[in-house]
Amino acid sequence: MKPLPLIIDCDPGIDDAVMLMIAFASPRLDLRAITTVAGNVPLRLTSRNARMICERMGRSDVPVHAGCPRPILRKPVTAEDFHGESGIEGIGIFEPKAPLAPGHAVSELIARLSAAPPLSQTVILSGPMTNLAAALVMAPEIARSIGHLVVMAGGDRIGGNITPYAEFNVFADPHAAAIVFDASIRTTVLSLDVTHTVRAEAPRLASLRKVPGPEARMMADLLEAGNRLEARWKNGQMAPMHDPSTAVYLLAPEIFETRPCRVSVVTRPGAQFGRTKVMDTERGPHHWATAADADAFFGLIESLLKARA
Ligand code: RIB
Ligand code: CA
């Protein structure tokens, strides 16, 4: 089967970095371009971190385009508490050999999607949705080219992780999230409801460390750093596999449970600013993930890395 053409928009970020490693490690995914956005850390760092992962995975050929340095309307927020000042705590920082690709991420998204046949493209968003939202405002017709959008965003049963109601990616740019969800693109939403059930617990990391090769070691180092930071701020809990769930979903949707719905976003100021509201409907363009098989989730990641060792 031909590898799935894929674009990833992200804000690396420890878990974004692990997600990129999974995408690169799978021969079934053809990661054609990476676009970066300000989120966990400022744009300069998310863009450097994405290029670092490309280099460490031997994929400096994949273009990394920097995008929006701030959200559409609200004051910028970041999440260094959970990712470190570098945004990629856990691995040594270096300046990647490959420079940023020329062209703003929003222009690149428009160019790639405009040139693509209808419903042919799969896009992952694992940070604030600013870039795709801006692209949809500038060129609404690009929605026709996206056959499947997979986002790490929101929370319903779980509520929020940055406020009691809001998850970080949506809270960091709720207006962008509203634009993307309102575009009625077929979207699978990996929210806190599912990511909180798949955490990098110690036995998972111990098993990962038995996988030979530098990539498994690097992923374990990243996840362990994420755990240290998560435990500090979330009373001893281990880090959820937020962004990796998007790539794992594309590779093994059968290990997830989802429900059809339509997602909207609270953009009015107040306690619920950035909350995702999930309306169950069979005709929904969205699917909300509600559960995942954690054993299968980590088993898939280990098998991908074993095959490359
Ligand atoms: O709420 C989790 C999300 O916020 C993840 O994408 C993480 O990288 C942060 O961006
Ligand atoms: Ca992220």
Total tally of structural domains belonging to the chain: 1
CB of 152 within 6 A of ligand 1: the answer is yes
Measured between its terminal Cα atoms, the distance across the chain in Å is: 23
- 247: amino acid identity, one letter: A
With residues binned 3-state (H G I as helix, E B as strand, rest as coil), the percentages for the chain, rounded to 5, are 40, 20, 40
Tell me the pLDDT tens digit for each residue of 9-20: 999 999 999 999
Element housing 18 (H / E): helix 14-25
Ligand 2 mean position, distance from CA 128 (Å) = 8
Tell me the pLDDT tens digit for each residue of 53-63: 999 999 999 99
For residue 64, the cross-strand partners are: 34
Ligand 2 mean position, distance from CA 127 (Å) = 4
- 288: amino acid identity, one letter: W
| pLDDT confidence of residue 114 | 98
Give buried/exposed letters for 217-239 (b at 16+ CB in 10 A, else e): ebbbbbbbbbbebbeeeeeeebb
Q: Is 50 exposed, middle or buried (0-12, 13-18, 19+ CB in 10 A)?
A: buried
For 88, the domain range is 4-308
The answer, yes or no, to whether residue 3 has pLDDT greater than 90, is: yes
Instruction: Over range 172-186, report the average pLDDT.
Output: 98
pTM: 0.98
User: What values do phi and psi take at 202, rounded to 5?
Assistant: -55, -45
Catalytic residues: 242
Residue 116, helix vs strand vs coil: coil
Tell me the pLDDT tens digit for each residue of 235-246: 989 999 999 999
The pocket of ion ligand 2, defined by CB under 5 A, consists of 11, 13, 16, 126-127, 243
| pLDDT confidence of residue 1 | 86
User: What values do phi and psi take at 33, rounded to 5?
Assistant: -160, 150
Q: For position 18, which CATH number holds?
A: 3.90.245.10
CB of 242 within 6 A of ligand 1: the answer is yes
Instruction: Over range 67-79, report the average pLDDT.
Output: 97
CA distance 249 to 114: 25
CB of 194 within 6 A of ligand 1: the answer is no
**pLDDT-based confidence at residue 28 (cuts at 50, 70, 90):** very high
Tell me the pLDDT tens digit for each residue of 183-231: 999 999 999 999 999 999 999 999 999 999 999 999 999 999 999 999 9
* Cβ proximity of 177 and 129 under 8 Å: yes
Residues in the chain: 309
To the nearest 10 degrees (0 to 180), the angle between helices 244-251 and 14-25 is 20
Tokens 């993307």 belong to 180
**Tokens of residue 158, six digits:** 């779980």
CA distance 14 to 214: 17
Element housing 7 (H / E): strand 4-10
Instruction: Over range 172-177, report the average pLDDT.
Output: 98
**Tokens of residue 209, six digits:** 């460390």
* Distance, CA of 84 to chain centre: 17
